[in-house]
Amino acid sequence: MSLDREEPNYYGAGPALLPTSVLQQAAKDLINFQNIGIGAGEISHRSKAGVSIIDQTKEQLTKLLDIPETHEVFFLQGGGTTGFSSIVANLTASHIKKTGKIGTPYYIIDGTWSKKAYEEAERLGYNPKILVDTKKIDGKFGTIPSIDKWDIPSNLNEISFIYYCDNETVNGVEFRNFPFDKFPNVELVSDMSSNFLSKKVDVSKYGLIFAGAQKNVGIAGISIYIIKKSLLEQANVEELKKLNVPIVPIAFHYPTVVKNDSAYNTIPTFTVHIVNLVLKNLIEKGGLNVQEEENIIKSNMLYDILDKYPNVYKLPVSKDVRSRMNIVFTIKDGSLDNEFLSEAEKKNLSGLKGHRSVGGMRASLYNAVTIKSTKLLCEFIEEFAKTH
């Protein structure tokens, strides 16, 4: 039975491409893990082998991101959407423990996903406020308004946390420099789902970083959380009920999850194992320095070629916040969209259609997309421009 494949040229936004060698190892491990006779999906999450998968994954993440002692790694099922609900619940409970007050969560809305996060906090009854909403200021997503346009409360103490999305997958907007210094002692939550491990990050600046696995680090079904340990101190159920604050479902109660080493409930061991293999691969490749450099090269290459043909391609995102992961562009003559996609398919370049909510094109250059594959895409884009 063959486990080979031609190297795919796939630019989907997620679930996304994974290194073939990682998938081959995972495929073997699905049948017989470390010669114990059964597969990584069949072992108990409480067995020695199961626990070692969780522990190794945590260790490798700690190494790659240089996670300080002040922070803790854990895993939760689900992705961004489950994060939206559990984050506001847990961080509110932390804020109550610390200050005795419910506080107000503040959201930066610079694209589809941060907007959804804000809406969920509102739906659940946490009365969130908007720190800045790109669409209200600039009429559309594609920029990050300068900080003088943000609606910062005069008393920072009323902020339970600030939430932002570091890379907006749908809109192709990525933060370059978050203004950390404007928010001293405020807990910062960052959704890094689609640029996690694409670059170095100073973890110490964050209260919480979270990321669904299905972009740079694995298949769908698991999310990675890196939390400041002090945020695990939370008001208890009785205190929350007294204040009429919603209780988070137990499987998403971070202190319970951390206390049980991410296995309070059954963790999808095989899915975590794939993350483990991706991290190993990344460490062997040279770590985040090497990966970040590669990602800069790839994205520059693609943006350069798109910029070269302004009569054919349109780039809706402001240059200073262009995402290195999700390169969003449209073809000026919209009637050529289908031709673009079908000609690309003929060259085995796939996954280029933009998100259903915004249309156009999107090429995602996640870690597993090689420089070679990016070059092929650039060549096609140039050829298409020259012939249309």
Stretch 253-292 residues interacting with a copy of itself (CB under 8 A):
264-271, 274
Please report whether residue 78 would count as binding a copy of itself according to CB under 8 A. Answer: yes
Give, in order, the Cα–Cα distances in Å from 257 to each of 51, 86, 386.
14, 12, 55
Q: What binding mask, one character per residue, do residues 296-315 give for a copy of itself by CB under 8 A, x or -?
A: --------------------
The angle at the Cα of 74, spanning 70 to 75, to the nearest 5 degrees, equals: 160
Please report whether residue 359 would count as binding a copy of itself according to CB under 8 A. Answer: no
Residue number with CB closer to a copy of itself (27 or 283): 27
**At closest approach, how far in Å is the CB of 116 from a copy of itself?**
9
**At closest approach, how far in Å is the CB of 111 from a copy of itself?**
17
Distance CA 288, CA 214 (A): 18
Residue number with CB closer to a copy of itself (61 or 368): 368
List binders of a copy of itself among 319-358 (CB under 8 A).
348, 350-351, 356
Residue number with CB closer to a copy of itself (172 or 221): 221
Distance CA 154, CA 343 (A): 54
Distance CA 62, CA 73 (A): 8
Decide if 19 contacts 4 (C-beta within 8 A): no
Q: What binding mask, one character per residue, do residues 81-120 give for a copy of itself by CB under 8 A, x or -?
A: xx-xxx---------------------------------x
Please report whether residue 147 would count as binding a copy of itself according to CB under 8 A. Answer: no
Please report whether residue 211 would count as binding a copy of itself according to CB under 8 A. Answer: no
Please report whether residue 145 would count as binding a copy of itself according to CB under 8 A. Answer: no
Residue number with CB closer to a copy of itself (183 or 380): 380
Stretch near a copy of itself under the rule CB under 8 A, chosen from 35-43, 146-154, 285-293, 323-331: 35-43
Residue number with CB closer to a copy of itself (330 or 350): 350
**At closest approach, how far in Å is the CB of 124 from a copy of itself?**
5
Distance CA 380, CA 31 (A): 39
Please report whether residue 196 would count as binding a copy of itself according to CB under 8 A. Answer: no
* Residue whose pair of structure tokens reads 């200073």 in the numeric block: 320
Please report whether residue 49 would count as binding a copy of itself according to CB under 8 A. Answer: no
**At closest approach, how far in Å is the CB of 211 from a copy of itself?**
13
Out of 52, 56, 62, 77, which residue is the one contacting a copy of itself (CB under 8 A)?
A: 77
Out of 60, 214, 367, 373, which residue is the one contacting a copy of itself (CB under 8 A)?
A: 214
How many residues make contact with a copy of itself (CB under 8 A)? 75
**At closest approach, how far in Å is the CB of 255 from a copy of itself?**
14
**At closest approach, how far in Å is the CB of 244 from a copy of itself?**
7
Out of 68, 100, 125, 286, which residue is the one contacting a copy of itself (CB under 8 A)?
A: 125
Q: What binding mask, one character per residue, do residues 2-31 give for a copy of itself by CB under 8 A, x or -?
A: xxxxx-x-x-xxxxxxx-x--xx-xxx-xx
Q: How would you write the chain as a 3-class SS string?
A: CCCCCCCCEECCCCCCCCCHHHHHHHHHHHHCCCCCCCCCCCCCCCCHHHHHHHHHHHHHHHHHHCCCCCEEEEEEECCHHHHHHHHHHHHHHHHHHHHCCCCEEEEEECCHHHHHHHHHHHHCCCCCEEEEEHHHHHCCCCCCCCHHHCCCCCCHHHEEEEEEECEECCCCEECCCCCHHHCCCCCEEEECCCCCCCCCCCHHHCCEEEEECCCCCCCCCEEEEEEEHHHHCCCCHHHHHHCCCCCCCHHHCHHHHHHCCCCCCCCCHHHHHHHHHHHHHHHHHCHHHHHHHHHHHHHHHHHHHHHHCCCCEECCCCHHHECCCEEEEEECCHHHHHHHHHHHHHCCEECCECCCCCCCEEEECCCCCCHHHHHHHHHHHHHHHHHC
Residue number with CB closer to a copy of itself (271 or 323): 271
Residue number with CB closer to a copy of itself (97 or 205): 97
Please report whether residue 146 would count as binding a copy of itself according to CB under 8 A. Answer: no
Distance CA 72, CA 58 (A): 9
